[in-house]
Chains A and B, each alone.
Chain A
Amino acid sequence: MQSNASLEYDYSLAKKFTYLTILFGFLGMLVGTLIAAQMAFPELNYLLGEYGTFSRLRPVHTNTVVFGFTVSGIFATWFYLGQRVLKVSLAESRFLMVLGNIQFWLYLVGVLAATVSLVLGYSTSKEYAQYEWPFDIVIILVWVLWGINMMGLIGIRREKALYISVWYYLACFLGIAMLYLFNNMEIPTYFASGGLGNPMHSVSMYSGTNDALVQWWYGHNAVAFGFTVPIVGMIYYFLPKESGQAIYSYKLSLLSFWGLMFVYLWAGSHHLLWTTVPDWMQTMGSAFSIVLILPSWGSAINMLLTMKGEWNQLTENPLIKFMVLASTFYMLSTIEGPIQAIRSVNAIAHFTDWIPGHVHDGVLGWVVFMMMAAIFHMTPRMFKREIYSRKLMEFQFWLQTIAVVLYFTSMWIAGITQGMMWRAVDEYGNLMYSFIETVVILEPYYMIRTLSGVMYLIGFMMFAYNIYKTVTAGRKLSTEPQFRTPMA
């Protein structure tokens, strides 16, 4: 075995994608907070004329956090930890370096242009796949470039056995490639009609119920291979690395991974319960969703057990706090989802605010927390500087934790209330509430959610500031820290 010290890793790509992660994270959450506020204060719809309505901005929010923030974070962490666990530097291959840089610029331009197109109203309307066909092509190209880069790096690796994180990044690449391609099959109408109309416009290859099936096969598994698989890949690296603890159980890693791969794909139809999708598919989606708790919890439990006996680290190192809390929220959202996938519960939960509540347990508590922890861990090593302020980090941690709790509790109550109001009948057997009554009653919860958005966003800005100060003014380090991240 070769020692690490002799290898000089190339972090230039990891750094670039880290900047983008922070940029898109900020933009996405800014818009998220704005649309949250618009639901509480509808007057805010008119700040930007036609381009500022809730309905135009909602997909800007979702696509920016998914394709901007999360994907950047996946790339940033891969270009950092990929080299390290494969024990090979990117700089050893000029080809991979060039490829990586093309990927970066194409991605940046592509995502920015796609975001503008959404604001302008170009949308194919399939959730998380709203980008019109020209941008789909760019996204697919970027993805393929990343895949080649990953395979290339694996090809020239020195570490024979693939580390667990690599399994997850590999699955992320393969899964998204397959899903994105099939769900975005669309035909540009300009070319099929002999040059009529807008060249950007397209129609879906699938129609009606079939389109819904393909979309939610995609939508659910985009969550799987975007918000779950790569993030699990991250925690499997950053938690043991930061804490210096060995992974609790190889067997548990193994079963959780293959269990997740096998079970996840079956569960997509839980987004289509009680619709016109055949009953047997709904049943499968429901059943597999419940089973899915276990492979999901397996990874989280493996992480929590890795920290066995390390209470002092938990209380002293805010980075460990971030990751332990992320695991906890991961467990919360992966039991909440399955229970919402039970037919009877879904009858109430579907279409209500309980679903965005569930979503943000996962994304705010798990995805963003994990991503910030990863960046906090990487920055001192990439820039050879100490974290600028530990106090700020502590404060940010508590601010954002309270924000997530406010978000999910308010939407939990709002969703259950609304779902039950829609069904309520009066003593005569007629509907008890008009629709608008079920809207008006949610106002206080929408206000609480807005507050939580503001708090979370401020926390994220504190994070960005901390990183900025670390890079520019953090105390210089002479050697790379082995485990615990140094902070002032």
Chain B
Amino acid sequence: MNTVTIKFLAFSAILMTATISVVMSLDIEIFEDTTNTLTIFGIVIPLSINMLTMAGAIAIAVITSMVTGKYIHQMKTDTATGKLAEESWDGIGEYKNELPSGWAYTFLGLFIWSMWYGFIGYPINAYSQIGEYNEEVLAYNKKFEHKHKNADEETLKKMGESIFSVQCSQCHGEKGDGLSGRAEDFTQKSTESILKIINEGQNALHSFPGGMPGGMASGQDAEDIAKYVASGFKGTEPPMYAVCGGCHGANGEGVEMVGPRINGFDMKNTLAKGKKGLIGEMPAFNTLITPIQEKALTVYIQSLSN
């Protein structure tokens, strides 16, 4: 190898090392195991998109370095020869040299390869990217869904935290504090707002067409209930809570089609249909959140106010 090529390759090595170390520092797996494999002469190579991309990047750097390095080096060592054509244009001549054979054979080879690619690799009338997507989802389910079926509280909480950061933090804030009143603040339930609901009623969740009428309790009773509900049902239950229990369940766990959960935040109905209340509007998340994710989010969000 010549010095030009070596310099180019050294530069490529630095670039690739930098790229790989940045990616690895983010906990991203480049060589994860996947269901995609490539079989060449019976040898099975696991393939992941990340690995193929890195391989592609390395190929760009290495092939360019080798080939340009070779030709630039030739400027140092070789001399121009050949038979000149009869013509010249504005003083520019032209040799009748043959094609560089490496170039010609690679061209031919790639043309044949492209035929293989179109008719066998990704058969023109058989390959489907949606089919590949379905496989990806199946493989994923095999790997994860089963694994977290019976996850414990701690796992669910961590899981919920990361889902929250991706899907919910844009409104509720990275810490779940509601970005100073822009959305629900999960770190506390305020007695005043519950009192207000008891007095005035509410029709904000889209899961209960009639909403809740106001004035079912008043005075000291209402205040006691509000405090009790805001605390997350801690301490002794005020006797008048029975009024609420009819719709919200004895422990405030909510009753299907009748009243939402109030011993915490009603994730199920809010995520299913959304909520449009005094603070603003919460969109429904019925397609983006799976049941297990909902469970994890619930654990995480309840943990914020404790």
Contacts and interface: CB of A to CB of B under 8 A. Distances in A.
Interface of A: 4, 81, 84-85, 87, 159, 161, 163, 237, 240-241, 244-253, 255, 259, 274, 279-280, 282-284, 286-288, 290-291, 293-295, 297-298, 301, 304-311, 314, 324, 327-328, 331-332, 335-336, 339-340, 342-345, 347-349, 409, 412-413, 416-417, 419-421, 423-424, 426, 428-436, 441, 482-483
Contacts of B158: 428
A452 B203 CA distance: 57
24 contacts: A4-B91, A161-B87, A246-B92, A246-B94, A248-B80, A248-B82, A249-B95, A252-B97, A253-B94, A274-B129, A279-B127, A287-B118, A290-B117, A309-B80, A311-B76, A324-B72, A344-B53, A416-B19, A416-B54, A420-B26, A424-B26, A429-B147, A434-B166, A436-B170
Nearest to A266: B114
B262 to A, nearest CB: 28
Nearest to B165: A434
A216 to B, nearest CB: 17
Contacts of B103: 252, 294, 297-298, 301
Given A159-B89, A252-B99, A424-B28, A284 B118 contact: yes
Interface of B: 15, 18-19, 22-23, 26-28, 30, 47, 49-50, 52-54, 56-57, 59-60, 63-64, 67-68, 71-72, 74-80, 82, 84-85, 87, 89-100, 103, 106-107, 110-111, 113-114, 117-118, 122, 124-125, 127-129, 140, 143-145, 147-148, 155, 158-159, 162-163, 165-166, 169-170, 293, 296
B71 A304 contact: yes
B144 A249 contact: no
Given A290-B113, A416-B19, A428 B93 contact: no
Given A241-B92, A429-B140, A345 B56 contact: yes
Contacts of B144: 428-429
Contact of A308 (B74, B113, B124, B296): B74
Contacts of B60: 332, 335-336, 339
Rank and list the top 10 A-B pairs by shortest CB-CB distance, nearest first: A429-B144, A246-B93, A309-B79, A304-B71, A249-B97, A294-B107, A287-B114, A163-B89, A344-B52, A84-B90
B99 A251 contact: yes
Contacts of A483: 91
Contacts of B117: 283, 286-287, 290
Contact of A305 (B30, B71, B87, B92): B71
Nearest to B290: A430
Q: In the complex, which of the residues A85, A259, A482 has the most CB atoms of chain B within 10 Å of its own CB atom?
A: A85
Interface of B: prevailing SS: helix
A438 to B, nearest CB: 10
A250 B94 contact: yes
A305 B100 contact: yes
Contacts of B76: 311
A262 to B, nearest CB: 11
Nearest to A349: B53
Contact of A251 (B72, B97, B162, B169): B97
Given A283-B124, A309-B80, A344-B52, A331 B85 contact: no
A85 B93 CA distance: 12
B92 A240 contact: yes
A348 B49 contact: yes
Nearest to A429: B144
A279 B52 contact: no
Contacts of A293: 110
Nearest to B113: A290
B96 A251 contact: yes
Contacts of A424: 26-28
Contacts of B118: 283-284, 287
A87 B89 CA distance: 8
Contacts of B111: 291
A85 B92 CA distance: 9
Interface-central residue, B22, B68, B76, B111, by most chain A CB under 10 Å = B68
A291 B108 CA distance: 9
A482 B91 contact: yes
Given A283-B127, A335-B64, 16 more contacts: A4-B90, A163-B89, A246-B82, A248-B82, A250-B96, A295-B107, A301-B71, A304-B74, A309-B79, A327-B68, A416-B57, A421-B26, A423-B49, A424-B27, A430-B166, A433-B26
